[in-house]
Structure 1
Amino acid sequence: MNDSSAFIFSEELLKYNFGSQHPFNQFRIKLTIDLLKHSGALDDSSIVPPRMATEEELCLIHDPSYVHAVKMAGKGLLTGDSAENFGLGTEDTPIFPNMHEASAMIVGGTLEAVDMVMTGKTSHALHLGGGLHHGFRGKASGFCIYNDSSVAIKYLQEKYKARVLYVDTDAHHGDGVQWSFYDDPDVCTLSIHETGRYLFPGTGSINERGQGKGYGFSFNIPLDAFTEDESWLQIYRTALTEVTEFFKPDIILTQNGADSHYYDPLTHLYGTMNIYREIPKLAHELAHRYCNGRWVAVGGGGYDIWRVVPRAWALIWMEMTGKASSATGNLPAAWTEKWQTKAGVPLPDSWEDGPDIYNPIPRKAEITEKNLLTLEKALYPIRNTSKTESV
């Protein structure tokens, strides 16, 4: 297998657009690409355009009546209560023209990434337009119309008979993907997110472990608000390493929401760029250890599109392509100068965050201890099984 990577993108992905006042803004992909190109880390030969998912592919997960409703909404033919019954026309997921086509293109991008990796054309593939993890079988939710990751996982099962490990590090719980495979022992989901006590969607407790044959294949680690880098990374490294060893997947699919950062306006975690350097690094290592390198990465949340998302997402590609070590020190001055007048906030001048971007957290020790206890409870089933089997 070639140890190479594909970057899935075309301008078509920017048509997934809820309007200029909505926090979900796909322009962050363009900013990321521009940062990568200014850094000499991405050339056009690595860019592969997405395709549009077929209706049959969408219906691997989504109800046909829901797909029809999305089509009608995008033509202006679904309004009022009929739309809201499908989660459309809400503040989170407003209706926009041709929303079916735009959403199907996102799903198709993730399917293209899957096909490239599973056929051996590349070892890794990155589709930053994907990661819409809140979409349900028959309802839009949380800025997500179709759930590209869920469709891709079912596609992996149907076409390639693959066991899939889905890893979600978005600050919001990966609820749509979890519920899609809650009773399936051939899909393992791991979500590390801010506790749902104060954050949408309010799910993702450690007790959500799966059901039926899928019991024990759903892992949730809800972190306390104000969690900082050290605690976040300790949880991530431990959980992902142990869950991957337990499940031994054929492919790893990572959802890379960049909203656990301190600057993110919608969440309450205190991460810095340190975590976004380590997230893809460990996923890359484990993909080679267990999956012959097979790794697909998608985007997700991330609502500080100027200071956080471009740096965080650029690091995924640079890790995939062996260039992460060059992403240190100053950002390309030409990139900063190009976008500063449009950003509305002072842009960072370095790949790293400074040590004083926020005031010290007085509850740090308490938060760290609480997160460790949550981790212990979340991983207890596999740790207990391992101990029993060794005796």
Structure 2
Amino acid sequence: MKEFAYLYSPEEAAYRFSDSHPFNPIRLELTLSLLEATGALETVDCIVPRRATDEELSLIHDADYIQAVKLAGHGELSPMKAQMYGLGTEDTPLFDQMHESAALLVGGTIEACELVLSGQYRRTFHIGGGLHHGFRGRASGFCIYNDTAVAMAAMIQKYDCRILYVDTDAHHGDGVQWAFYNRADVMTLSLHETGRYLFPGTGMVTERGAEEGYGWSWNVPFDAFTEDASFLQAYRTVLFEACELFKPDLIITQNGADAHALDPLTHLSLTMESYEQIPQIAVEAADRYTDGRIVALGGGGYDWYRVVPRAWSQVFAALTNQSPFHGNLPEEWIQRWQKESPTVPVTWADPVPLYPMIPRRPEIEEKNWETVKRLLWPFIDDSKKEHLSFSSPYSND
């Protein structure tokens, strides 16, 4: 068994709505060129993804929806009909070859999971995956197909496995949650900004699953302006409890980078400190509970130059057993991309301070911990409950 491979094709950049749309595939090129400049790509395998078949897509998506996407991508679907499927909207505008581009992203995530569960690789990273908002019969939130849900359904069908899906995107992983809400073979864990202020408006602690899936849907909705220490305290606590209870065969992580303080679409206040530690903690959990089997995906992230390349490079570092990248960014990368953006960062860490001190910090951190307690209380042993008393993660500041 080999340790690691990443999946990528330049064709994935064809999943592009418009030049002005916040979901810009330049994020992929920026990240991979940064990793290339560090020398990190020289000794690892790159697998070119394939397109998902209609049969695979239909594990999650309705046949009429798949057909509508095909027609829309060839200019053969009326605007009114497209709107019925969530297509041609402000979030998900029409573009040429929509189906072919979206199916490639799905195929990449299927292959990333297949490589791990077949025993060929212990860890994989599909940087173009993680489109977690797509529903059975409609597009939503920049997502045409739900690559993660399709891949999980395909893996369960083939390997009869248990999958823990962990989503740290600032937006609730609603499409994945609802796809498996009634099932006991998938546990979804989403840590995100509260839906009181942010799309899609779901992901409350009370969304715990139904029928056979009761107890296997976990959500941690963070208060706006949550900072690193509070987020990481909740993340580590909840992730390891989820692993203990669910006992997964595979962990899939969605690594949206839009909870960063610089992201233009969200209201959380994470820095690169979190994006160093999130994937390291996930790999630690995989090593302890799944014999190291983990698949990482990309996801959201709309500060293309300053945030996403650094955050996803740290995912790569964790999956390849490296310490987080520190120090200055490669000069050749800086020079290449400064021609396009004056906001290119020069160091792996963020400037300190990145933002003014948040006056509600104590209130926010205590509220977040109460959310963690509400989530875990019905599912953990009484012996563990006494350890859930609130302790400020900033006490040593």
Q: TM-score range by the shorter chain?
A: over 0.9
Pairing 1:374–2:371 present: yes
| Residue matched to 2:345 | 348
| Residue matched to 1:142 | 141
The CA distance in 1 between the partners of 2:308 and 2:282, in whole Å, is 19
Q: Counterpart amino acid of 2:346?
A: D
CA contact (8 A) 2:52 2:104 kept: yes
Q: Cα–Cα, structure 1 residues 387 and 356, in superposed 2: closer, same or farther, change >3 Å?
A: closer
Superposed, which structure 2 residues align to 1:70-109 within 5 Å? Answer: 70-109=69-108
Superposed, which structure 2 residues align to 1:207-218 within 5 Å? Answer: 207-218=206-217
The CA distance in 1 between the partners of 2:320 and 2:124, in whole Å, is 10
The CA distance in 2 between the partners of 1:382 and 1:354, in whole Å, is 40
Offset at 1:290?
A: 1.1
Offset at 1:45?
A: 5.2
Cα shift readout 1:115-160 (whole Å, capped 9, x = no counterpart): 1111111100000101000000000000000000000110110011
| Residue matched to 2:264 | 265
Offset at 1:203?
A: 0.2
Matched pairs, number = 385
Offset at 1:342?
A: 0.3
| Residue matched to 1:339 | 337
Offset at 1:286?
A: 1.0
| Residue matched to 2:389 | none
Pairing 1:33–2:32 present: yes
Offset at 1:324?
A: 2.7
TM-score, normalisation: structure 1: 0.97
The CA distance in 2 between the partners of 1:301 and 1:292, in whole Å, is 28
| Residue matched to 2:12 | 13
The CA distance in 2 between the partners of 1:77 and 1:283, in whole Å, is 44
Q: Counterpart amino acid of 1:356?
A: P
Identity of aligned residues (%): 55
Cα shift readout 1:157-201 (whole Å, capped 9, x = no counterpart): 001111000000000000000000000011100000000001000
Superposed, which structure 2 residues align to 1:234-313 within 5 Å? Answer: 234-313=233-312
The CA distance in 1 between the partners of 2:305 and 2:347, in whole Å, is 13
Q: Counterpart amino acid of 2:326?
A: T
The CA distance in 2 between the partners of 1:349 and 1:239, in whole Å, is 34
Q: Is there any run of 5+ residues in structure 2 with no aligned partner, and where?
A: 386-397
CA contact (8 A) 1:41 1:323 kept: no
Offset at 1:12?
A: 1.0
Pairing 1:167–2:172 present: no
| Residue matched to 1:222 | 221
CA contact (8 A) 1:79 1:89 kept: no
| Residue matched to 1:357 | 354
Q: Counterpart amino acid of 1:350?
A: T
Offset at 1:44?
A: 7.5
CA contact (8 A) 1:228 1:271 kept: yes
The CA distance in 2 between the partners of 1:44 and 1:74, in whole Å, is 38
Cα shift readout 1:26-62 (whole Å, capped 9, x = no counterpart): 1101100000010111128521100000000000000
| Residue matched to 1:383 | 380
Q: Is there any run of 5+ residues in structure 1 with no aligned partner, and where?
A: none
CA contact (8 A) 2:122 2:294 kept: yes
Point out 4+ residue stretches in structure 1 off by more than 3 angstroms: 384-388
| Residue matched to 2:390 | none
Q: Counterpart amino acid of 1:291?
A: T
Local SS of the residue matching 1:124: strand
Cα shift readout 1:340-378 (whole Å, capped 9, x = no counterpart): 1201x4222111112211000000000000000001001
CA contact (8 A) 1:75 1:98 kept: yes
The CA distance in 1 between the partners of 2:23 and 2:12, in whole Å, is 13
CA contact (8 A) 2:103 2:145 kept: yes
Superposition RMSD in Å: 1.2
Q: Counterpart amino acid of 1:273?
A: M
CA contact (8 A) 2:204 2:220 kept: yes
Cα shift readout 1:176-233 (whole Å, capped 9, x = no counterpart): 0000000001110000000000100000000000001111100000000000111011
CA contact (8 A) 1:258 1:309 kept: yes
Offset at 1:255?
A: 0.4
Q: Counterpart amino acid of 1:106?
A: L
Offset at 1:385?
A: 7.2
Q: Counterpart amino acid of 2:93?
A: P
The CA distance in 1 between the partners of 2:44 and 2:352, in whole Å, is 37
